Amino acid sequence: MKILMTLALAVMAVCQAQGANMKIVDKGKSEYVIIVPKEPSAAETLAAVELSKYIAQMSRVKLTIKQGGLNVHKSLVVCDVANLDGLIGSQRLAEYRVSGESYSLSADAKGNILLIGGTGRSTLYAVYDFLDRLGCRFLAPELKHYQGKAEVIPQKKSLVIDLSTPVVEKPALTFRKLYVEEGHSHNAENLAQMVEWMPKARFNTLVIPTNYQGADKVKWDNWREKLTPELQKREITIEVGGHGYQNFLNAEMENGAIFDKHQEWFGVDDTGKRTKLQNRVFCTSNPDAVKYVSDNVIAYLKARPEIAIFDFWPPDGAKWCECDKCKALGTPSNRQAILISQVKDLMRKAGVTTRLETIAYAAAVTPPETAKLDKDLLMDFCPIAQCFEVQINDPSSDKNADYVKQLKGLRKGYEGDLSIYSYYRKYAWRSLPNLIPHYMQKDLQFYRTIPTQGISSYAEPGDWFTYELNHYVLGNLAWNPDADVDALVKKFAEVRYGSASKAAVHAYTVLEDVVRHYCNIPGTSLKSVMEIADAKSKLSDVEAELKTAQSQTQDLGLKKNIYRLLLTMEYARLDMSVMQSKASQFPKAEIQSQVKAVADFMAAHDEDGITTSGSRSDYPRLLKFYGVPE
């Protein structure tokens, strides 16, 4: 018995020692070579290149990349699990057996390190996780306003990692999306930068409109040529579409003759007339109109085979046809479900296998009463008027309670993938710093109980700095809703603000407490003069802390980051001054003057990454935003 116990302890000691404190680089030298399959995929190649690049940036030691077979020295094996056999021979340990978006980090008895993904995309996740454990911080895309400081890469002569316990990671949510949507500040360059960052944060789907509002400004075709290869080599899902029945049938088509030729295809308004207005849904009870729309969708997708998911949604602010035949089809939810099933059937007959997505939104947010949606469809649920003063599942908000009831009703009758179209960075906030890391976690933990399979967020380069914490934390929570949010915020602040990190964490805490309750956030009630004054005082106190910390650092990059955080807080104070004046019922001219100060502030800081000023934030529109007469 003693001999057996001795042997068991010896084996345990060997297992514990295996992978402990492995020196990738030791005092400027390395024994390691990066190994990829003999014929690596684009994602595996990129993963190896990224690993070599960042190790070189950290240590100034560039590791060689070798295709196929174990190296005579130590190996950093980077591959999709399907290609693993040829690289490690017959040795197959349980921790390597990952699939899909799962990945593992482990070490074998020979000192080899294995970064294995279930796919090429998750192999990238494995590499970026490994680099994060070595100290790299991929905080944001390398957008212009960051001036090369979006991510923070430490400088070390030695790189050591402990893999005595294998790491196996699996995402909680299947779909982790970034939406371009209104596209106030997007261009080909910054979209490519977003794509480069997405796998670093483990987002897996980029969503771009077919043609937002028909304006030809925000549309997939504008960026398709540049973005497609970048997305494909990272195996990021390409999702295109959005609010857009009108992209496939509208009165301007066929040189404007289609309306006269086929008036019966166009929606009837509440006066009983057929209308050319694009927000009026076409006559979905007309089979010829449905066929025309379907044929155009099919032609569009056949010409763009890179699209994996197509969002077939009604126009934004849709008004449904009022003809008797359409009304006989039921509610907008029911009509939408019937239509997408018809389009899907015609697509499949034409050999188009692109996955379709429908939307639970506005007039069509309730479950369809009779139509049944196929489970291979994807559905986005959109709580657009969610009250952020309380959680989505807090019944004290009637609006939130309605959304929860609708969501549960949809889940009960729909077996397919259901994703939340979240508003954790919302255009209607006008770039106000509504930072909500803990709020997002509680929402996602509730959504898990439904259950849902995805989450998304708008992502504008123009105000990315304002919402960078939301984006960073959401990427982590979409992977694991139980992640330690306080630790994530601390980790983020330590590298973004350095010696000022404690003050920055305090600032984030105050912003999460103050902005959603006292600023002009849609759904938030106007508070009393004294309540707003107290909130402004909290902001002022933490601003003083930040300014002290700013004065004590000599690092110009950190000073710039603190400056931008201070700008977001200044904007919140300017906003609350308007709200305070409204609560005081000050004269219109005085409130207008304060709104003008907000407009001037946003215009002055258009290049700082804290606002998407543009036309939506000019003085006349801000007056409407604040409900102040001109």
What are 159-212's pLDDT values in tens digits?
999 999 999 999 999 999 999 999 999 999 999 999 999 999 999 999 999 999
Full DSSP string of 15-75: HHHTTTTEEEEBTTB--EEEEE-SS--HHHHHHHHHHHHHHHHHHS-PPPEEESS--SSEE
Task: Kindly tell me if the per-residue pLDDT of 7 is higher than 80.
Answer: no
Assigned token pair, 520: 């002009």
pLDDT digits (tens, 9 = 90+) for 30-56: 999 999 999 999 999 999 999 999 999
Task: Kindly tell me if the per-residue pLDDT of 10 is higher than 50.
Answer: no
Could you please state the CATH topology (level 3) that the domain comprising 16-169 is classified under.
Chitobiase; domain 2 (3.30.379)
Q: State the angle between helix axes of 42-59 and 220-233 in degrees (0 to 180), rounded to the nearest 10.
A: 80
pLDDT digits (tens, 9 = 90+) for 354-364: 999 999 999 99
pLDDT score of 71: 65
Task: Kindly tell me if the per-residue pLDDT of 417 is higher than 70.
Answer: yes
CATH 3.30.379.10 location in the chain: 16-169
Q: What is the chain's mean pLDDT, rounded?
A: 93
- State percent of the chain over pLDDT 90: 90
Task: Kindly tell me if the per-residue pLDDT of 370 is higher than 70.
Answer: yes
pLDDT score of 69: 76
Fill in the amino acid letter for 485: V
Q: Which of 625, 612, 209, 229 is nearest to 425 (CA)?
A: 612
**Mean pLDDT computed over 259-271:** 96
The arrangement of strands across the sheet holding 113-117 comes to 65-67, 32-36, 74-80, 113-117, 103-107, 167-169
CA–CA separation, 185 and 178 (whole Å): 15
206-220 as b/e, with b when 16 or more CB fall inside 10 Å?
bbbbbbbbbeeebbb
pLDDT score of 8: 36
- State percent of the chain over pLDDT 70: 94
Average the pLDDT over each of 225-229, 294-298, 368-372 and give the range with the smallest value.
Answer: 368-372
Phi, psi of 208, deg, nearest 5: -130, 140
Q: State the angle between helix axes of 464-479 and 437-449 in degrees (0 to 180), rounded to the nearest 10.
A: 30
Per-residue pLDDT band at 616 (split at 50, 70, 90): low
Q: Are 215 and 243 in contact (CB under 8 A)?
A: no
Instruction: Check the CA dihedral 220-226-232-235 and report its sign.
Output: negative
Task: Kindly tell me if the per-residue pLDDT of 61 is higher than 50.
Answer: yes
Determine how many CB atoms are found less than 10 A away from the CB of residue 67.
Answer: 14
Phi, psi of 309, deg, nearest 5: -130, 135
Task: Kindly tell me if the per-residue pLDDT of 91 is higher than 80.
Answer: no
**Mean pLDDT computed over 556-576:** 96
Task: Kindly tell me if the per-residue pLDDT of 630 is higher than 90.
Answer: no
pLDDT score of 85: 76
pLDDT score of 12: 36
Assigned token pair, 91: 């040795």
The residues with which 360 forms a beta bridge, in sequence order, are 381
**Mean pLDDT computed over 391-418:** 96
| Torsion angle defined by CA atoms of residues 470, 415, 121 and 420, in that order, rounded to the nearest 10 degrees | -10
The backbone region for 378, taken as left when phi is positive above 0, alpha when psi lies in -120 to 50, beta otherwise, is beta
